Structure 1
Amino acid sequence: MQKASEMKVENLDHLGLIAGLIDEIGIVPKINELVGEQPGEIVSPGLVVKAMIINGLGMVSAPLYLFSKFFEGKAIEHLLGSGIQASHLNDDRLGRVLDKLYLSGITNIFTTIALEAAQKFEINTDTSHLDSSSFHLHGKYEQELTSVCFSSRETDSNQLDNSSINHQTSPIPIQITYGYSRDHRPDLKQFILDLICTGDGDVPLFLRAASGNESDNSIFASICQDFKKQLNLDTLMVADSALYTAPNLEMLTNLKWLTRVPLSLKQAQQLVSQLNESELREQFTEEVVKLEEEERLELENGSPDFMVYNVTNTTFIIMDFYLDYILDLPGVKVESCTQIDGKILLGLRIVGEGMVCHHCQNYTEQLHQNRPILVKDLPVFGRPVYLKVPRRQFYCPNCQRYPTEKLDFLDIKRRHTQRYEQNIYERVKQSSMEQIGREEGLSYDEIKGIFDRVNKTQKKPNWEQVKRICLDEISMRKGQGNFVTVVADISEGNLIEMIDSHRSEEIIEVLMKQAIEVREQVEEVSIDMWGGFPKVIKKVFPNAEIIIDRFHVMKVVNKDLNKLRRAAGITDRQSKYLLLSNRVNLKPEQIDKLEVVLGKSECLKIAYDMWGGFPKVIKKVFPNAEIIIDRFHVMKVVNKDLNKLRRAAGITDRQSKYLLLSNRVNLKPEQIDKLEVVLGKSECLKIAYEMKEKFREIYETNLTVKKGQKKIQEWLNHAQVFFGSSLVGMLN
């Protein structure tokens, strides 16, 4: 058995699955066969490619110069083979292998391996789909590249001379340059990637890198021919309307292909305009009746098979009429409707034939490119809806530019319709960004971006009509700060301003932009207990009354009450709930339990009845305010201590309690006689009762402030013997 000191732990993570799949496809031996191996190589070209794939599919990949560090701490011998170390995968080794791959032809290598994988996993190749995409790059990428010679075969370095280099077989490098940008970055240079995938599972079979200014119209047919020669597959090639040009059709005579005729052609427009809607409706009705009859007969025969009906394409024109009505988007019509994994995909067609160039205001119908994009729209019947929207680019002969068509329902470079983003904005105002993100399957940053964009376009309410407002701060992301200040109209419930700051100086700077007449008419400002808001209000709204909303006051009250609960050793959750809940919402049995909890701590009970934290809040928020404690709560505390003396004297009947705690002036003569009998049972109780009535007399007598304070102080000097220190501390 191995000792613990001899054991070594290395990470494998999910990379073992990737390595196993690479081995099952046979990528390593095929790469070695295509590019060749050299004697003495520790890591073959195939293993280097395998390492590159593992690095690319790792959770965090590494660039070439840090490639070896990626494998440090990983089970590299298990992934790549015995004896291989991370240091063997240095940038020099990777660079030499990349040169070999380039000389051998990336397209040829990719296609060979992809075809073997498709055959091994029995991928259906009856149909293939051709398309291209652009990838933008940052940097100058000068066109004048340094001349580099590549050898078309391996030679001994001692025998290498100019005669041993076959320049004709060296690949021609692509150009990183400007062109039509599919990823909406026309300001950056780019390159093009042509890809052919199987209709079964979208497995890529053909890959080709091209210069950034290459046109699909001029290259698609030759790509199909090259694909046919290399793979020799009897496949139906499906492509977009870029394939439909006269030169391409001449080259595709020996191939099976399927494409869409662009509506920019006049013949296509004429054919569509000649369609008779009434005839199509009749044909559609007849076909539906026929299908319903077939379904009825199938059900009568008891066949368990699920029937799928293939309706002719002409019937979809009638269906699209109703889909157009439901979709209700300007300038477009529905061409197709499919459902994929519970999602509805609507293919759209733009009604107009051309556009007005936004550079020179000239009208043009010369279509240059048409690249559909996938856009998310509002759901229908609880199902997500995606729109395949044509993104058309025209050529303007007047200014010789290539303007992109603008759509009324979709902003440039956006992947959501305007009404979808407006819906997100309204929902965020009623919920949170995290919640809406979870519901829509969008990240926090995406939701925030939508909210910020829509908020900038919203028409702000008229400040001239606002008289009552509220100020509050909200965190744009829970638990991570990022506070903003919200200004709302209380009367109308409208959002007025959203200030991207929580500093009083910056809030004042934004609000001071309103005219002084507008600010002076604000009568009331509701705020929480943040100390910076009063400063803002006094500066910006000189005539406004400051209102602290009940929610924030009760929040502070409950916080201090909870501290007293913990200090009293009451730690169970039920007690916390009973103490912090509104008493009127508690059930009778819960109120009984609350009384038991309050009986455990006299201090907690007093705090529950009359919270002692108010003075602290008032002094902090309103430093110049005078604190007045109402008579009701003072008399409540006095009667409580008086009741203790009653019990201590052994007087337990309820009638005596009622007589002692009632206001003497409200008692009847016979009740006063009974009260005198009760007081005669205890001299101490009699003195305390008389002091209680004297205290009531002070409150009810019309005295000046100074005389009232003097009377209370005299009363306190005698009351300390009978009444608790809580009352004395409160009044002092």
Structure 2
Amino acid sequence: MYGVKGKKFRRQYKKSLSGFKDWKQKSHAEDWIIYPENCSHRLSLDEVALSEGELYTVLTSNTARGRKGSLVAMIKGTKSEEVTDRLLKISRKIRQKVKEITLDMAGSMKLIAEQCFPNAMQVIDRFHVQKLAAEAVQELRIQYRWEAIDLENEIIKQSRDKKVKPDIHIFENGDTRKQLLARSWYLLYKSREKWTENQSKRVKILFREYPDLEKIYHLSDSLRKIYNQNITKSVAMLKLAHWFKDVEESGFKSFSTLKNTIINHYNDILNYFEARSTNAAAESFNAKIKNFRLQLRGVKDRTFFLFRLIS
């Protein structure tokens, strides 16, 4: 429009207009970035893949809610020793003011939080717990789906040998067994109240054909409902105890593993019910990174990408 070539404009923007040349953290940005002034009383600790699967540990402020001023620190790698060494560059006075930090169940994240923010209450993000439960349900669905695929392949093979049309059973909603299991993946992530009319019909057939899927879905949904209720920490303890009993009686190995995982992080998981804090701010910032990376169709200059991201 103004007679300037795109490549030349990008070059001028990077070298002069953007302020990238004078960025104070430019020399070490690819390894770590720290903004102590963005530190608040409530923080989130998470990890994100920046480019080519390279993981970075990201510390964000919950009060900024993923907007400008969210980033407190972004450090290459997830090793607790390296991340702790960088975070300790933030003054002790600022770090001691942090009262709460949300994180996942990784041991390295817990160690980082303990060493860098000793006064902060650690809160295990509810969505990491619920994700494990949802994955256990999907694991059983996928197992049944492979069995259905094998069954259909065998029917087709036998029909081909006999030179007759394959007799593949079709349910009342028009799904074959293989399709029923494939098309049920999304609805098993949702609560019953959010199923559409067609999904309700499909799940009715699914649970009729696979009673174990109904039992395991009920366990996952029960855990979600505990989190969704506005209850105190003591009430949550009681409800989780009942849920543990249901898990033991069900006999599902995957949920027994989940139960043991919750027990190992019991206090930090229950801390959620103090103020119902989540890693939503960190996830919002991670989504911003992914969307920005998608707009640029990849990352060529990682340092400049980080500068653009936080500016």
TM-score of the two chains, using structure 1 as the length reference: 0.24
Contact 1:375/1:417, CA 8 A, preserved across alignment = no
SS of 2:186 mapped into structure 1: helix
> Which residue does the alignment assign to 2:17?
417
Structure 1 CA distance for aligned equivalents of residues 119 and 189 of structure 2:
36
Structure 2 CA distance for aligned equivalents of residues 472 and 588 of structure 1:
38
| 2:40 pairs with 1:460 | no
Structure 1 CA distance for aligned equivalents of residues 211 and 46 of structure 2:
37
State the aligned residue count.
Answer: 200
> Which residue does the alignment assign to 1:529?
105
- The aligned runs of 1:681-720 (5 Å cut-off) are none
Summarize the Cα distance change of 1:492–1:634 in structure 2 as closer, same or farther, 3 Å threshold.
closer
| 2:113 pairs with 1:541 | no
Report how far residue 582 of structure 1 moved: 4.2
When you count helix as a share of all residues, which structure comes out higher? 2
Structure 1 CA distance for aligned equivalents of residues 194 and 81 of structure 2:
42
Summarize the Cα distance change of 1:632–1:599 in structure 2 as closer, same or farther, 3 Å threshold.
farther
Q: 1:635-681, CA deviations, whole angstroms, 9 ceiling, x for partnerless residues? A: 9x7xxxxxxxxxxxxxxxxxxxxxxxxxxxxxxxxxxxxxxxxxxxx
Summarize the Cα distance change of 1:517–1:486 in structure 2 as closer, same or farther, 3 Å threshold.
same
Summarize the Cα distance change of 1:601–1:551 in structure 2 as closer, same or farther, 3 Å threshold.
same
Structure 2 CA distance for aligned equivalents of residues 516 and 559 of structure 1:
40
> Which residue does the alignment assign to 1:501?
77
Contact 1:557/1:613, CA 8 A, preserved across alignment = no
> Which residue does the alignment assign to 1:726?
250
Q: 1:332-388, CA deviations, whole angstroms, 9 ceiling, x for partnerless residues? A: xxxxxxx5xxxx3259xxxxxxxxxxxxxxxxxxxxxxxxxx7315xxxxxxxx97x
Structure 2 CA distance for aligned equivalents of residues 601 and 548 of structure 1:
33
Contact 2:45/2:103, CA 8 A, preserved across alignment = yes
> Which residue does the alignment assign to 2:268?
none
| 2:54 pairs with 1:476 | no
> Which residue does the alignment assign to 2:190?
581
Contact 2:36/2:90, CA 8 A, preserved across alignment = no
SS of 2:119 mapped into structure 1: coil
Structure 2 CA distance for aligned equivalents of residues 496 and 534 of structure 1:
18
Structure 2 CA distance for aligned equivalents of residues 503 and 525 of structure 1:
18
Q: Which amino acid aligns with 2:17?
A: T
Summarize the Cα distance change of 1:489–1:728 in structure 2 as closer, same or farther, 3 Å threshold.
closer
Q: Which amino acid aligns with 2:47?
A: E
Provide structure 1 residue ranges, at least 5 long, that are not aligned to the other structure: 1-338, 348-373, 378-385, 388-409, 423-450, 615-625, 638-723
| 2:135 pairs with 1:559 | yes
Q: Which amino acid aligns with 1:345?
A: G
> Which residue does the alignment assign to 2:62?
490
Structure 2 CA distance for aligned equivalents of residues 515 and 461 of structure 1:
8
SS of 1:481 mapped into structure 2: coil
Structure 1 CA distance for aligned equivalents of residues 29 and 252 of structure 2:
55
> Which residue does the alignment assign to 2:211?
602
SS of 2:131 mapped into structure 1: helix
> Which residue does the alignment assign to 2:307?
none
SS of 1:526 mapped into structure 2: strand
Q: Which amino acid aligns with 2:35?
A: K
Q: 1:283-327, CA deviations, whole angstroms, 9 ceiling, x for partnerless residues? A: xxxxxxxxxxxxxxxxxxxxxxxxxxxxxxxxxxxxxxxxxxxxx
SS of 2:8 mapped into structure 1: strand
When you count strand as a share of all residues, which structure comes out higher? 1
SS of 1:525 mapped into structure 2: strand
Higher mean C-alpha displacement, 509-518 vs 569-578: 569-578
Structure 2 CA distance for aligned equivalents of residues 498 and 574 of structure 1:
39
Provide structure 2 residue ranges, at least 5 long, that are not aligned to the other structure: 149-177, 224-235, 260-311
Contact 1:466/1:522, CA 8 A, preserved across alignment = yes
SS of 1:522 mapped into structure 2: coil
Contact 1:568/1:604, CA 8 A, preserved across alignment = no
Cα RMSD after superposing both structures: 4.3
Among all aligned residue pairs of Structure 1 and Structure 2, give the percentage whose two residues are the same amino acid: 22
Structure 2 CA distance for aligned equivalents of residues 490 and 577 of structure 1:
29
Structure 1 CA distance for aligned equivalents of residues 27 and 191 of structure 2:
41
| 2:93 pairs with 1:517 | yes
| 2:8 pairs with 1:375 | yes
Q: Which amino acid aligns with 1:576?
A: W
Summarize the Cα distance change of 1:584–1:612 in structure 2 as closer, same or farther, 3 Å threshold.
closer
Summarize the Cα distance change of 1:613–1:537 in structure 2 as closer, same or farther, 3 Å threshold.
farther
Structure 2 CA distance for aligned equivalents of residues 461 and 526 of structure 1:
18
